[in-house]
């Protein structure tokens, strides 16, 4: 290689290196300017934030600002998108075999949601999470449920009072793994046998026993009272009045 060729090769190398450095800076700068998270979350929630009640947001919770009061009825995924929702009464896989309401989003009191978020965070440390099976239930849905199952052990008699689900401070939940797959539990939803109660001594599956105990312990530590007949049902210790006229949007 003569001197001229060597100089040309060196020039090409230097130019190549400068182009590389230039492009690297552009990529880094683009991420900062765009404010787009790798999973696209900021885009996903942009529309939601516009419809929020007044209040400040925070960098740690970019999805939603807090409402004025714990009693405000809110959509759970606006505050806790990491909690899975599969409302059993929005479909037919429940004891009635009917669809009891037309909405598929879980709604709860904001104070109750805050407690659920605490439970979710505890479970995430163990590689698990929550999945909601039922949350706020309309009075109309409560009446339909009573028609099918007039048994006060499982359904509140609408002529005598209301379920905590119609107050928006009760939730039916199960555990999911890191992939969102439901974990083994003593029974499925709406199982009206002794296996569903909180006497876990009759549960043969060791994993189901451990999982249900973990769910109960976690929810209790976050301010919920477990219902003795149904391992999936928890009521917020803070009580609220019945929401007779609230109907979540479809």
Structure-token match 């003569």, residue found: 2
Q: How far is the CB of 143 from Zn ion (least distance, A)?
A: 16
* Contacts for 74 with CB less than 8 Å, ≥ 6 apart: 67, 107, 108, 109, 110, 113
Q: How far is the CB of 170 from Zn ion (least distance, A)?
A: 6
Binding pattern for the stretch 132-171 against Zn ion, x by CB under 5 A and - elsewhere: ----------------------------------------
Our measurement of the distance from residue 108's CA atom to the centroid of its chain's CA atoms, rounded to an integer in Å, reads: 11
172 interacts with Zn ion by CB under 5 A: yes
Question: Which stretch in 34-42, 104-112, 115-123, 172-180 sits in contact with Zn ion by CB under 5 A?
Answer: 172-180
Closer residue to Zn ion in complex, CB, 86/172: 172
Q: Which two tokens stand for residue 160?
A: 């005598």
DSSP state, residue 72: S
Q: How far is the CB of 124 from Zn ion (least distance, A)?
A: 23
How many residues at the interface with Zn ion, by CB under 5 A?
2
Closer residue to Zn ion in complex, CB, 78/172: 172
Ramachandran bin of 85, using left for φ above 0, alpha for ψ from -120 to 50, beta for the remaining angles? beta
Residue closest to Zn ion, measured at CB: 233
Q: How far is the CB of 234 from Zn ion (least distance, A)?
A: 8
Q: How far is the CB of 63 from Zn ion (least distance, A)?
A: 26
Q: How far is the CB of 89 from Zn ion (least distance, A)?
A: 10
Q: Which two tokens stand for residue 244?
A: 């007779």
Residue among 64, 84, 167, 233 that touches Zn ion (CB under 5 A) = 233
Q: Strands of 84-85's sheet, edge to edge? A: 84-85, 128-134, 170-177, 233-236, 224-226
Closer residue to Zn ion in complex, CB, 79/133: 133
Burial class (CB in 10 A: 0-12, 13-18, 19+), 234: buried
Closer residue to Zn ion in complex, CB, 64/144: 144
Neighbours of 114 (CB within 10 A): 18
Task: Catalog residues that contact Zn ion under the rule CB under 5 A.
Answer: 172, 233
């Amino acid at each position: 290689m003569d001197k001229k060729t060597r100089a040309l090769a060196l020039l090409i190398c230097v130019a190549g290196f400068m182009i590389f450095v230039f492009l690297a800076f552009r990529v880094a700068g683009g991420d900062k300017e765009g404010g787009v998270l790798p999973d696209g979350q900021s885009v996903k929630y942009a529309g939601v934030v516009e419809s929020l009640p007044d209040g400040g947001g925070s960098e740690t919770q970019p999805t939603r600002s807090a409402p004025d009061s714990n009693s405000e009825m809110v959509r759970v995924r606006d505050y806790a998108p990491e909690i899975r929702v599969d409302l059993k009464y929005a479909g037919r896989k429940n004891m009635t075999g009917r669809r009891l309401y037309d909405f598929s989003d879980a709604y709860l009191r904001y104070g109750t949601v805050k407690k659920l978020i605490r439970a979710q965070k505890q479970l995430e440390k163990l590689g698990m999470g929550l999945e909601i099976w039922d949350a706020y239930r309309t009075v109309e849905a409560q009446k339909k449920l009573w028609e099918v199952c007039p048994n006060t052990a499982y359904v509140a008699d609408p002529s005598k009072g209301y379920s905590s689900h119609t107050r928006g401070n009760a939730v039916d939940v199960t555990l999911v793994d890191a992939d969102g797959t439901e974990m083994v539990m003593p029974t499925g939803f709406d199982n009206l046998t002794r296996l569903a109660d909180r006497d876990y001594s009759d549960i043969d599956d060791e994993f189901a026993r451990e999982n249900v105990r973990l769910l109960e312990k976690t929810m209790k530590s976050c301010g919920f009272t477990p219902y003795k007949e149904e391992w999936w049902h928890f009521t917020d210790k803070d009580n609220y009045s019945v929401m007779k006229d609230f109907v979540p949007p479809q």
